[in-house]
Amino acid sequence: MKFAGYTAARLTTTLLTGTLLLGAALAQTTPAPTPTPAPVTPVQTPAPTPAPAAAPAAAPATAPATTPAAVPAATPATDPSTLVATIGTEKVTLGEFDQAFRIAVARLVNSQGVPFEPSYLTEFADARRDFLTQYVRDRAVYQIARIANKPDAATIDAQVAKARENFANDAEFSEGLAQTGFTTPAELRTELERQSVVNAYLDSVKKRLTFGNAVVAGFYNLNKASFTREAEACAKHILVKTQPEAQQIQKDLVAGGDFAALAKAKSQDPGSAATGGDLGCFAPGQMVAAFDTASFKGPLNVPQLVQTEFGWHVLTVTGRTEAGLAPLSVAEPLIREQLARDASQKYVDSQVARLKVQSFADVVGAAK
């Protein structure tokens, strides 16, 4: 479900530095990107616009106040063992910071469909000092989270193995890792462990928070403009070359055939065949004209045949939403999630504030 301006407004940041900090903050609450080369989107499957991501759970743009400290060096350091911050008794080195910065930059360029290259680190060099503020906060949250949360080794093993199985050999896997900012499989594993621990901690905080119906209704009434939703259709399709093929598939589906299985076996659209033909949800005008018309005006949950310049589509529209104000019943889950995020963020901030934090910005980048 897409709302015009609700979650997107909470992700607004300043250009360049703000975007990079956002990428780092997202790392707290979202799984690490699987180091897989970006698939080529086939021309026959226009990509649906993704829903705006919800704001991260505990990653505000502002970080906890740090204790002023003597700067170890007047110019940026190069020794990886150089101290860049202390969090309580924990010391953070330049090498650790550089690794985190590289992964954050890679995550940002990967989100634009671009493989990471070391040259991007130079382009984002001006963001290093500001990124240190966010990174120190992230490390502080991780330190707190480790007290009561441990990573599940079996789960982490499975995630690493799943990432590896997309590649024919270790050399290709290493190349895939490099394109996402990781230099070794061990770095990927460490990042997955960190995310697992932090996510478990943030989830445990959110679960302790409850909000009455009156609070939810009040939030809804005060923010109705934010819950204006766009029209959208959700659909799946099987693409074949000829009308007889499409007609036979349509008959098979009407007789009770499994749509996903047929899509994987017969669809000529590699972009959706692997997911059982699922196209997700999309707005009017995103698909070619005939497909768009069938998606927004055709019957629901009935396989229909559509011809486009790409071939014959066996299309099933699984859902459709009219544009306008979403009712409270639809907005309620999002509201409860947002209220929990805001409250848990404040709680985590209070816990981070109890730690003695020092950071040395001049070590990571010259003053602007």
| For the chain, domain boundaries | 6-30+41-214+329-363, 231-322
d(CA 165, CA 68): 47
d(CA 70, CA 363): 11
Look-up of token digits 């070619």: 288
d(CA 334, CA 21): 24
| pLDDT given for residue 367 in this prediction | 59
**Is 12 exposed, middle or buried, given 0-12, 13-18 or 19+ CB atoms closer than 10 A?**
exposed
DSSP helix/strand/coil, 337? helix
Class of the CATH-defined domain 231-322: alpha beta
d(CA 285, CA 188): 39
Which residue type sits at 183?
A: T
- Helix runs in 39-126, H state only: 94-111, 119-123
Which residue type sits at 210?
A: T
Phi, psi torsion values for 84, nearest 5 degrees: -110, -20
269: how many CB neighbours lie within 10 A of its CB?
Answer: 21
Q: Is the pTM of this model over 0.85?
A: no
pLDDT by residue for the chain (368 residues), tens only, comes to 555 443 322 222 223 333 344 444 433 334 344 444 333 333 344 333 333 333 333 333 344 444 445 444 456 788 999 999 999 999 999 999 999 999 999 999 998 888 999 999 999 999 999 999 999 999 999 999 999 999 999 999 999 999 999 899 999 999 999 999 999 999 999 999 999 999 999 999 999 999 999 999 999 999 999 998 889 999 999 999 999 999 999 999 999 999 999 999 999 998 899 899 999 999 999 999 999 999 999 999 999 999 999 999 999 999 999 899 999 998 999 999 999 999 999 999 999 999 999 999 999 986 55
| pLDDT given for residue 77 in this prediction | 80
| pLDDT given for residue 214 in this prediction | 97
For residue 305, what are its two tokens? Answer: 């045949």
Assign residue 88 a region: left if phi > 0, alpha if psi is -120 to 50, beta otherwise?
Answer: left
| pLDDT given for residue 3 in this prediction | 53
| pLDDT given for residue 66 in this prediction | 47
DSSP helix/strand/coil, 319? strand
| pLDDT given for residue 78 in this prediction | 87
| pLDDT given for residue 35 in this prediction | 42
- Helix runs in the chain, H state only: 6-9, 17-29, 94-111, 119-123, 128-145, 153-164, 170-179, 185-207, 213-222, 243-254, 259-266, 270-273, 289-297, 328-353, 361-364
Q: What is the CA radius of gyration of the chain?
A: 24
| pLDDT given for residue 224 in this prediction | 93
For residue 106, what are its two tokens? Answer: 């890679």
260: how many CB neighbours lie within 10 A of its CB?
Answer: 14
d(CA 69, CA 64): 15
